[in-house]
Every structure is written in C-alpha cells, then in structure tokens.
C-alpha cells in the first residue's frame, strides 16, 4: 500500500521539525553547587518584627532581611493523598518574615540544583507556596484546609515569574524549530479574526481558565480540602524569586488584611504553612514537599 496523500496534506498545514539539542531545551540550568546560606536553627514558631520599609514590592536582597530572625523549617514529601513523591526532594526551607503594619513579607530559601521554568510538555516549574487559615487556625487542617475551613494560599511559580518578566511564551518561543503555516483566524496575509474569535481555538482561554493567561508571579488560591483549590481573581500578593548557584531565595509579600481571604493583625498569633515543588524532579500538584503542621506565627 502506498503512502497516503492525505497525510501530506496535513504536512502543509503544520510542518514542524523536531527540536534537538540543548539550544531549545528552555531555561534549565546545569546543576550548580549550592550557594552557602548562613546556617539557621530549627524553629517551632515564627516571630514577625516590624520594619520601616515599603513591603508592597517583594525584594529578596533588601537590607531589612539582614536583621530579620531566620529559622529552619522541616518539610516532608506530601504524605496524605496520591499521587505522592517517592522521596522528599526538599527536606527543609529557611524562613524569615517582616511586616510594616500594612504588608507582611516572607523570605523563603531552599536548595534546588536546577532552575526549572516549565513551558514544554513534561517540563514542570519550580514553585513554592505559603498557606494561611481564613478562620481559626486551631480548627483549620494544615493540608489544604477542609470543608468550611478554607485556607488562603499564595502560590509562586518560576514559570509565572517568567511570564511577568518576559511575557507568556508563544509557541515559537517554546519550540523554536517548529514551523506553522497558519492558525485559524490569524492568516498572515489576511488577518480575519478578533482576539476573542482567535481565543475560541484555545479551549483553556475560551473557558477563561486563569492557567491559560499570562501570570503575575503569584496565584492567590482558596481551598477547602484536597482537590478543591481554586484560583481567585484579584492579586493582592506578589512574589520575586532569585535562583543563584543551586538555591532559590523567594520573597512573597501580601497585605496584612485581605477582604474575603485571610488576615493577620499586629499583636496576634496565627499559623502559616509552606510547600515547595522541584520542577526538575517532575514535581507538580500533589507531588510536593510540605509541612505537617501549622507554624505558629506572631506578628509583633
């Protein structure tokens, strides 16, 4: 039987070459030696001191971090629901936090031998999240909350930060060697569709899935138990990560008070919890390292 002609018709629609070599492998860096982070003692509670600085913009290199108390918090491969990581990839993070009566900033630092920003199939992003109880911390389960016991999560991804800094990548950036004749409603010679009509050919966008649009560094999420997390509109949080020599240093900042979400107050104690994903180890979703309980946190 001869090769059928229809297949070649298709090749006029989409002619693409396999991407080979390291040049199109994206942003993965080769493993590097872990940068020395000054040792930090394990802590069982976090004290958040006041600083006189603008905290609305996250800044991992700001001078106020030098005086902030730092502590080490243990993480464990997420043990509650499948799929779970086989091993713990991030067994600790170093944490510090400051506030200025209007905003609170958390500085997280953890070793990760390769920088991963995702993009192509099978690539996953380095990420971290801070979780707050919406209500009473003593009743709220520390792992994703529970029914009518919501948690408020600030989820930073290296991928989202890349979006923020360089724009959401187009297909020809993700696959530089791919050649495409045309997309529906985007003909080179005769552009014929509105942006909304073009989006109809991208189901995630057409359905308004936040995942399909350019991100701002940090997603705000409300969850009431496993499988329930939902991205919220309106970003009052911000994040900035720096990967240097095999170590991420990330600052996530947020207003102390968020209507309809979680709130912290000067003089009061609550709890926070952290999670870390190593994209290079294919961690995503429930494949992550987490804390097993809330870290008592007092805003001084």
Partner 1 sequence: MPKVKNWHLGREIEYSYDDHRPAKQWAIVFDLNKCIACQTCTLACKTTWTSGKGQEYMFWNNVETKPWGGYPLAWDLRILEKLGRQEWGANGEYLGKTLIEAAPANERVLHYAPTDEDWMYPNIGEDDCGGGTVDGGGHMGELPHDKWFFYLPRTCAHCTYPACLAACPRKAIYKREEDGIVLIDQSRCKGYGECVRACPYKKSMYNPYTRVSEKCIGCYPAVEQGIQPQCVVNCIGKIRVMGFISPPAQARRDNPIDYLVHEKGLALPYYPQLGLEPNIYYIPPIHADRDYLHQMFGPRVDDAIAAYQALPEDPRASGLLCLIGSTDRIIHRFDVKGGSAVGFDDKGAELVRVPVTEKIIERAAFDARIGAIRNNTP
Question: Which stretches of the chain bind partner 1, using CB under 8 A?
Answer: 1, 3-4, 6-7, 9-10, 13-14, 16, 18-19, 81-86, 119-122, 124, 170-171, 174, 178, 180, 183-184, 201-209, 211-212, 226-227, 229, 282, 284-286
| Closest separation in Å from C-beta 159 to partner 1 | 8
| Closest separation in Å from C-beta 120 to partner 1 | 6
Residues in the chain: 300
| Closest separation in Å from C-beta 138 to partner 1 | 27
- Give the strand pairing for 46-50 and 92-99: parallel
Closest CB to partner 1 among 27 and 49? 27
Sign of CA dihedral 209, 215, 221, 227: positive
Cα–Cα distance for residue pair 281/88, rounded to 1 Å? 11
| Closest separation in Å from C-beta 201 to partner 1 | 3
Cite the DSSP H helix spans in 135-285.
158-166, 171-174, 195-199, 203-206
| Closest separation in Å from C-beta 231 to partner 1 | 8
- The three-point CA angle 206-211-213 to 5° equals 65
Closest CB to partner 1 among 194 and 209? 209
Closest to 294 (Cα-Cα) out of 102, 156, 111, 152: 152
| Residue 128 CB-density burial (10 A; 0-12 exposed, 13-18 middle, 19+ buried) | buried
Closest CB to partner 1 among 66 and 188? 188
Closest CB to partner 1 among 165 and 259? 165
Core vs surface per residue 130-159: b (16+ CB within 10 A) or e: bbbbbeebeebbbbbbbeebbbbbbbbbbb
Closest CB to partner 1 among 13 and 61? 13
| Closest separation in Å from C-beta 18 to partner 1 | 5
Closest CB to partner 1 among 139 and 166? 166
Which residues, 6+ apart, have CB-to-CB distance to 165 below 8 Å?
none
The terminus-to-terminus CA distance of the chain in angstroms comes to 79
Closest to 117 (Cα-Cα) out of 172, 177, 169: 169
Closest CB to partner 1 among 122 and 267? 122
| Closest separation in Å from C-beta 180 to partner 1 | 6
| Closest separation in Å from C-beta 14 to partner 1 | 5
Query: What is the three-class DSSP state of 66?
Result: helix
Closest CB to partner 1 among 147 and 208? 208
């Amino acid at each position: 039987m001869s090769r059928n002609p229809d297949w070649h018709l298709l090749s006029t629609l989409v002619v693409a070459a396999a991407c080979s070599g390291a040049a199109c492998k994206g942003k993965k860096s080769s493993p590097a030696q872990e940068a020395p982070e000054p040792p930090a003692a394990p802590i069982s509670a976090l004290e958040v001191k006041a600083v006189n600085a603008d905290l609305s913009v996250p800044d991992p290199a700001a001078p106020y971090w030098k005086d902030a108390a730092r502590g080490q918090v243990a993480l464990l491969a997420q043990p509650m629901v499948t799929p779970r990581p086989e091993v713990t990839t991030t067994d600790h993070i170093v944490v510090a936090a400051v506030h200025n009566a209007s905003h609170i900033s958390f500085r997280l630092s953890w070793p990760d031998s390769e920088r991963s920003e995702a993009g192509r199939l099978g690539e996953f992003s380095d990420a971290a999240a801070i979780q707050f109880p919406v209500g009473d911390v003593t009743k709220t389960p520390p792992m994703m909350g529970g029914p009518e016991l919501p948690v408020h999560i600030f989820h930073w991804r290296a991928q989202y930060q890349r979006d923020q800094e360089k724009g959401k990548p187009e297909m020809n950036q993700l696959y530089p060697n791919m050649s495409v004749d045309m997309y529906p409603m985007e003909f080179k010679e005769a552009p014929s569709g509105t942006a909304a009509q073009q989006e109809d050919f991208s189901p995630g966008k057409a359905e308004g899935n936040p995942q399909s649009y350019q991100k701002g560094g940090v997603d705000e999420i409300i969850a009431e138990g496993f499988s329930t997390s939902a991205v919220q509109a309106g970003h009052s949080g911000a994040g900035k990560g720096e990967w240097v020599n095999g170590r991420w240093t990330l600052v996530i900042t947020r207003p102390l008070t968020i209507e309809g979400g979680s709130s912290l107050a000067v003089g009061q104690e609550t709890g926070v919890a952290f999670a870390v994903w190593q994209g290079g180890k294919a961690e995503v979703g429930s494949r992550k390292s987490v804390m097993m309980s809330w870290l008592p946190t007092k805003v001084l």
